[in-house]
Structure 1
Amino acid sequence: MPYRLTHYRRSMATWDDVRRIALALPEATERGSYDGLPAWRVRDKLFVWDRPLRPADRAALGDAAPDGPVLGARVPDLGAKEALLADAPEVYFTVPHLDGYPAVLVRLDRIGVGELTELITEAWYARAPKRLAATHRAGAR
């Protein structure tokens, strides 16, 4: 079954939503990334982060470069990445810097809070230790 998030049609997400959703997950912490921007980790493994576009990204994207806030999110594998990019190109995109890396970039002002919750939770599962993830999945049922 292809990796696919459920599309929600609710209000668009904000950084406050990202923070609230990420920190609600077990053992999630917020700590600035190497450039001081907000980033969320589980046992020191990055799962979502503020990822503004760099000049090289803007050059690669050209007119398709978004002006709004951009969230980076880990995904389980490259197949999941390709599925998200194909399913909702108005929300998800990538840049050459992320080629071969299981992560997507998200136009934060184009994703609903429900879909963002699903994305962040899946990013957490992709990075959480197996035992912690299994415990959380069992409690979510």
Structure 2
Amino acid sequence: MPSEEDVRRLCLAYPGVVERPSWGRPAWFARTLMARMWDDGVLTVKTDEREALAAAGPDTYFWTPHHERSPGLLLVRLDRVDPGELAELLDESHRLAGPARRAPGAGPA
């Protein structure tokens, strides 16, 4: 079972990710929110596959009415997620939250 410390280690391994509190809990940001821990061992991530994941594993993946207006957010129960799957979820979440891409010909950053 992945722990909060495992999530922290994985998130901070991505370029440009910083940790800071959000809603009083540890959260990791690239350009925008990448992941956030909740008190009950639940992690918020960004995904393009929310409905498919929740349908395939409703005991692991879900969202609350609060998240209805944010269709890219998914809640993950750490005590039920496979560590490899967690790494894939964080990879996608980083891609979705990551640094904005510069326009071609925009010059150096």
Q: Which structure 1 segments of 5+ residues have no match? A: 1-11, 53-67, 133-141
What's the counterpart of residue 3 of structure 1? Answer: none
Q: Which runs of 5+ in 2 are unaligned?
A: 103-109
Counterpart mapping for 1:33-48 below 5 A: 33=22, 35-43=23-31, 45-48=32-35
Where in structure 2 are the equivalents of 1:1-141 lying within 5 Å?
Answer: 12-33=1-22, 35-43=23-31, 45-52=32-39, 68-76=40-48, 80-101=49-70, 102-131=72-101
Q: CA deviation at 1:87?
A: 1.4
In terms of fraction of residues, the more strand-rich structure is 2
**Deviation per CA, 1:10-44, whole angstroms, max 9, x where unpaired?**
xx1111110011000110110011x321000003x
- Alpha-carbon offset, residue 112 of structure 1: 1.8
Letter in 1 for 2:37: D
State the Cα distance separating 1:50 from its structure 2 match: 1.1
After TM superposition, give the deviation of residue 131 of structure 1 in Å.
3.2
Residue 129 of structure 1 deviates from its aligned partner by 2.7
What is the Cα-based RMSD across aligned positions, in Å? 1.5
CA–CA distance in 2 between the matches of 1:18 and 1:69?
11
Structure 2 match to 1:56: none
CA distance in 1, matches of 2:38, 2:45: 9
After TM superposition, where is structure 1 displaced by more than 2 Å over at least 4 residues in a row? Answer: 129-132
The TM-score with structure 2 as length reference comes to 0.85
